[in-house]
Amino acid sequence: MYKWPLILLLLLYIKSSGMGHPMPHSIFSLSIKSNKILAELNLPLKELQLAVPFDVTNQVNTLAKDERRKLLIGYLMAHIHPKSMVGTLWTVDIYDLKVEESLQEATGKYQELVVLLSMTPPVGETVRSFELNYDAILHQVITHKVFVNLKQDWQNGKTDRSEQSLGVIEFNIGSNKILPLPIRLDEGSMSKGFITMVRLGMNHISEGLDHLLFLLVLLLPVTLKNKNGRWTNFVGTKNSFINIIKIVTAFTLGHSVSLFVGAQKWLVLPQQPVEIAIALTILITAIHGLYPIFKHREIFIATAFGLIHGLAFSTILSDLNLETKELFYSILGFNIGIELMQIFVIILIIPWLIILSKNDHYTWIRLGGAVFAMIAALAWMIERIQFSPNFVSTAVDNFLSKGKWIALFLMICAALSTMTNKKYPKIGV
């Protein structure tokens, strides 16, 4: 009965909008919490204008602040109706509006309204199974589509930045209706989330080239004696392991404290100075690899540097906006992941450093590693100050991304050094 008017409306809209210029679509992103869903809704302004009786395309910089804010909230509340599978309405609360510039590949740049909201089911009902009844813009622009994505589901291990498609809300020509989208998510658990955070911590160290280089440079002199302001002979296998345990424990203590503080958002610092400070810790540690500048204070320096590195770690967790219980498990799991990867690196590297430290060839390995780290640290500092990579930092990243070859190189050097070792004169460094 309504097919011909709808088809006519469709033809008129296509004619007015232009055949060669596809319109952007809305995106509805969901973050699953224990008893509610946080959502981000992105609506293109030009398409929204076709659906509301008030202006939303002029003075967009004040759109989310002036009298139109109440009109927008009222409009959206009338068109967002999540329901339990048994038909019970959820509570919807819109708590923020803003206008941003966006980009979709098919449409280019455009202005959009970003809506932050929460959807809460009745007490005792699950957040993992419901119907999303939504028809903003769609009730007037039948060619419009709403892509519904899963952004975060911690209890199912979904914490990365990529969004998983849950479906599309669009006008159904066969029924002449905008059908609700049924959403059924797998049951999650705290153990799934915890294991995911352990993996995330391990990946952060394995992929964080600056953290890996810092750890490697930190290990360079731990097998040597500090005598008269320079590194001298092998300190012994037992003492080498004692030094490693002390320094790594101190670093762990430092980054654990700042990881907890940062993840709780008790201390929030801009990312740029923290990243520059991390490069500075590598530079100072590399200088210490040349000459012992800390004078038996390595433990305190490792703790202090750990605090700085922990602030960088914490941004990953704070960005997830987790609930208290999930955050506790995340901090614990993420920290365990970091430690597991650090232990793996130590096991991979230290045997060869101990063997090399017994021979005079190690001086060249230590000097070469320290100088390389100094160059890398300076290149990273410049990159992070200028917000732009340079050819040195790019070359360093490419080299360190093949980290397994560093361990192989040290193993070969240890073997050759043992076979060819002679008592060369000390270099005095």
Give the pLDDT confidence of 298-313 residue by residue, as tens digits. 888 899 999 999 998 8
Region of poorest pLDDT, from 35-44, 48-57, 201-210: 201-210
Neighbour-count burial for 60-85, b at 16+ CB within 10 Å, e otherwise: beebbeeebeeebbebbeeebbbebe
pLDDT at 14 over 80: no
What percent of the chain clears pLDDT 70, i.e. is strictly above it?
A: 92
Share of residues in the chain with pLDDT > 90 (%): 57
Angle at the Cα of 40 (from 325 to 22), degrees rounded to 5? 150
pLDDT higher than threshold 70 for residue 20: no
Which residues on adjacent β-strands are paired with residue 82? 132
pLDDT at 19 over 50: no
Residue 50 has pLDDT above 80, yes or no: yes
Length of the chain: 429
pLDDT at 268 (0 to 100) = 83
Residues 369 and 366: their CA atoms lie apart, in Å, by 5
Q: Which residues of 180-288 form beta strands (DSSP E)?
A: 181-184, 224-227, 230-234
Q: Which two tokens stand for residue 280?
A: 């500075």
Q: How confident is the model at residue 422 (pLDDT cuts 50, 70, 90)?
A: low
| Domain range list for the chain | 3-188, 191-420
CA atoms of 188 and 191, how far apart (whole Å): 9
Quick one: CA dihedral 408, 411, 417, 420, positive or negative?
Answer: negative
Q: How confident is the model at residue 105 (pLDDT cuts 50, 70, 90)?
A: low
Residue 8 has pLDDT above 50, yes or no: no
* Confidence band for 106, pLDDT divided at 50, 70 and 90: low
Calculate the average pLDDT of the chain: 88
Confidence (pLDDT) at 269 = 86
Tell the residue number behind the tokens 């199912």, with chain if given: 156
The band of 112, judged by pLDDT with boundaries at 50, 70 and 90, is: very high
